[in-house]
Amino acid sequence: MCGIAGIINFNQAEEKQDLLGRMIGMIRHRGPDSAGIYLNGPAGLGHARLSIIDLQTGDQPIHNEDRTVWVIFNGEIFNYPELRKDLIDRGHHFYTHSDTEILVHLYEEDGPEMFSKLNGQFAIALWDKTKQGLLLARDRVGIRPLFYHHEQGRLVFGSEIKAVFADETIPRKLDPQTIADIFTCWTPIGVSTPFQGIFQVRPGHYALFSKNGFLEKSYWHLPYSSLEPKSRPLEEWVDELNVLVKDATRIRLRADVPVGAYLSGGIDSTYISSLVRNFFNNRLSTFSVSFADERFNECSYQEIAVNALQTKHHVINCQDEDIGNIFPRVIWHTETPIIRTAPAPLYLLSGLVRKNDFKVVLTGEGADEIFAGYNIFKEDKVRRFWARNPDSKIRFRLLEKLYPYIFTKENEKAGKFLTGFFKKGLHQTDSPVYSHILRWQNTSQTKTFFHPDFIAGTGDLEQFVSRFASTLPHDFMNWKPLSRAQFIENTVFMSNYLLSSQGDRMAMANSIEGRYPFLDYRVIEFACRVPVKFRMNGLEEKYILKKAAKGLIPEALIKRVKQPYRAPISSCFFRKPSPAYVSTMLSEHAIQKNGYFDEKKVAGLVKKSSGQNGMLLSERENMALAGILSTQLLDHLFISNFSQQAPYPNEDMVIFTD
């Protein structure tokens, strides 16, 4: 895994080497092993390398035989040996053994159509010297990031926004619309980012930049459909799933360095680790995080998995104060406000991996999204069933199966509240966002803490829904409700939050590459074809995956009640002694100075948070606190106190010119 950056200027000659050096210096945490720059007329490409495949000759930028095509690449192409053989058979000559080099030759053969042949996770920048054009691309689901600023024939791009901001001519200012969106659905939407004028290449898209302008095109989409799959026994679906995930795991073990695995104690990561342990590697090292707060701790299940697999296991215990102490570093790497602290323990976890001299880990991420593992999918099903007879005295009690720890005699008041919450908008089953609207309504109430001037013109929830609905596929409402809910979850939450703030950013902060077998495009396309009754059977989530895992992982893990990954929030910032930055960032002076939030409302939240170490806050208030604090930190780190001087040196930089 690596970091890339570049400048293309068709307007005028520009000295790029120093700026590219600073851009790469900003993201050397992504690639500490080597660095290189390519300069050619209007183009400058920069690369920071994390050496995983072809340790000796794989440094970038890399070129084709006649040096007319150059590429920088962040990611892995897992099917590169097969593609390489085919390209050699077609007469291409290679000077490295890296997966990167197949890109320049595949481009020569297929141009932008090349991406349909790649099985990988990537952000690619390819300069065609002959055509004087740049090709940018991201993998199908957005595992690897790619940002850019485009203005009047000049394009600046990078793996992270901080690399783009190394250019002091680019303004740094928060975008009110995107910030409001994040306080509604957790993430930016579409090409937007939290900063004005900074955009992202969308997952499954490529972009062409030349003197004729900038054009982005889609090359892949989630293939949900209204068409019913051919009738097959469950056993055949399970067999196909096992074959696909096993092969997806096999090719993700391709590396010239050791590959470890995250082990959370859930089905997904245990299933992947079991495949590695039983079929590919008898000496697997696994890594997990435990919590001092038992509400979030899954250590007992992790122990079951470790005892069954007999891996060499490593654990880091996360205290509330650990999260509070590292939160500014987390925001430096997320480059976005977050309304949860969940990325922070994953930052610590990737640090544990690095400390044990690993660069690569497999994870179980993506299984919940593609095989319907979240409660939000069950809630949608229960509410639709309830809506057919809203006066029923029984149907709403299905909610008790989702939240048994709330619907108790001791929690009778909370149970009534939750029932009332899920009854809101019950009849609106024709809404394209029926599955998510309650969550968005709840989260969007955190926007009451904004200063009215800052979010003026950003629109209310109804306008947000209308704007989002306009981006949905034309046949979206013909799909099954579960497929609709999964599409929204996959395109909104998974791509822009799970794989970003909790995925790439927290791993690469410690120079760790995460690999995701469940997000192999073949597995995703298979999951989209699986009948909904096999994705969710009644209210049993991930039904087909549980069948596939049976006999491979401990039965106790298959039958356990799902525990979503979460982390404490307010207690991390107000447990005494509180981190010094918290009072500074949340002071009335700082709030008033930045102008994003209402200082009196924030002061009230801070006062309440300070009571009993923050344990008095509701879930919504906790989200508001995390969102406000992270927005203030974002301003502090990237606007008020940002330095264009790179935090990492580039003494090993190699310069190529043509």
pLDDT (tens digit per residue) in 175-214: 999 999 999 999 999 999 999 999 999 999 999 999 999 9
Tens-place pLDDT, residues 263-305: 999 999 999 999 999 999 778 999 999 998 888 888 999 999 9
Q: What's the rounded Cα separation, in Å, for the pair 41 and 39? A: 7
Among candidate residues 15, 3, 57, 22, the one with its CA nearest the CA of residue 39: 15
Q: What is the pLDDT at residue 414? A: 83
Q: What's the rounded Cα separation, in Å, for the pair 251 and 260? A: 14
Query: What average pLDDT does the structure give for the chain?
Result: 95
Q: Which residues pair with 450 in a beta bridge?
A: 597
Supply 309's token pair: 């697999």
pLDDT average, residue stretch 579-592: 96
pLDDT band at 653 (very low <50, low <70, confident <90, very high): confident
- One-letter amino acid for residue 184 of the chain: T
Residue range 234-370+489-559 in CATH 3.30.300.10: no
Tens-place pLDDT, residues 301-342: 999 999 999 999 999 999 999 999 999 999 999 999 999 999
Indicate the fold that domain 2-220 takes in CATH: Glutamine Phosphoribosylpyrophosphate, subunit 1, domain 1 (3.60.20)
Q: What's the rounded Cα separation, in Å, for the pair 640 and 89? A: 55
Q: What is the pLDDT at residue 652? A: 83
Q: What is the pLDDT at residue 576? A: 80
* Cis amide linkage into residue 577, ω under 30° from 0: yes
Q: What's the rounded Cα separation, in Å, for the pair 194 and 180? A: 9
Query: Which residue blocks in 388-520 are alpha helix, DSSP H?
Result: 399-402, 412-423, 437-444, 452-455, 461-469, 481-488, 505-508
- The CA-atom distances, in angstroms, between 189 and each of 137, 184, 199 are 18, 11, 11
Query: Which residue blocks in 566-637 are alpha helix, DSSP H?
Result: 570-574, 580-585, 588-594, 599-610, 619-635
Window from 104-113, 428-437, 441-450, 570-579 with minimum mean pLDDT: 570-579
Provide φ and ψ at 203, rounded to 5°.
-55, 145
Task: Report the C-alpha dihedral over residues 100, 104, 106, 108, rounded to 10 degrees.
Answer: 180
514 neighbors 30 (Cβ within 8 angstroms): no
Q: What's the rounded Cα separation, in Å, for the pair 620 and 445? A: 8
- The CA-atom distances, in angstroms, between 565 and each of 377, 380, 573 are 16, 20, 20
Q: What's the rounded Cα separation, in Å, for the pair 608 and 602? A: 10
Tell me: pLDDT of 462 over 60: yes
- Per DSSP bridges, beta strands 133-138 and 120-128 are antiparallel
Q: What is the pLDDT at residue 109? A: 97
Q: What is the pLDDT at residue 657? A: 87
Tell me whether residue 420 is exposed, middle or buried, using C-beta atoms within 10 angstroms of its C-beta: 0 to 12, 13 to 18, 19 or more: exposed
pLDDT band at 87 (very low <50, low <70, confident <90, very high): very high
Supply 252's token pair: 């993700």
Tell me whether residue 550 is exposed, middle or buried, using C-beta atoms within 10 angstroms of its C-beta: 0 to 12, 13 to 18, 19 or more: exposed
CA 29 to chain centre: 18
Q: What's the rounded Cα separation, in Å, for the pair 331 and 506? A: 10
pLDDT band at 410 (very low <50, low <70, confident <90, very high): confident
Task: Find tokens 């994040």 and name the residue.
Answer: 182
Tell me: pLDDT of 415 over 90: no
Q: What is the pLDDT at residue 412? A: 80
Tens-place pLDDT, residues 377-400: 999 999 999 999 999 999 999 999
Q: Using DSSP, state whether 12 is helix, strand or coil.
A: coil
Tell me: pLDDT of 613 over 70: no
Q: What is the pLDDT at residue 407? A: 85
Residue 226 carries which DSSP code? S
Q: What's the rounded Cα separation, in Å, for the pair 301 and 286? A: 14
Q: Assign residue 20 a region (left: φ > 0; alpha: ψ between -120 and 50; beta: otherwise).
A: alpha
Supply 282's token pair: 């008898």
pLDDT band at 62 (very low <50, low <70, confident <90, very high): very high
Q: Which helix (H) or strand (E) holds 285?
A: strand 285-291
Tens-place pLDDT, residues 492-539: 999 999 999 999 999 999 999 999 999 999 999 999 999 999 999 999
pLDDT average, residue stretch 70-88: 98
Tell me: pLDDT of 577 over 90: no
pLDDT average, residue stretch 132-141: 98
Tell me: pLDDT of 616 over 80: no
pLDDT above 70 coverage of the chain, percent: 99
Q: What's the rounded Cα separation, in Å, for the pair 45 and 59? A: 13
- One-letter amino acid for residue 207 of the chain: A
Tens-place pLDDT, residues 216-249: 999 999 999 998 888 899 999 999 999 999 999 9
- Report, in angstroms and rounded to the nearest whole number, the Rg of the chain calculated over CA atoms: 24
Every domain of the chain and the residues it spans: 2-220, 234-370+489-559, 375-483, 570-640
Q: What's the rounded Cα separation, in Å, for the pair 269 and 515? A: 12
Among candidate residues 11, 7, 16, the one with its CA nearest the CA of residue 156: 7
Q: What is the pLDDT at residue 658? A: 78
287 neighbors 263 (Cβ within 8 angstroms): yes
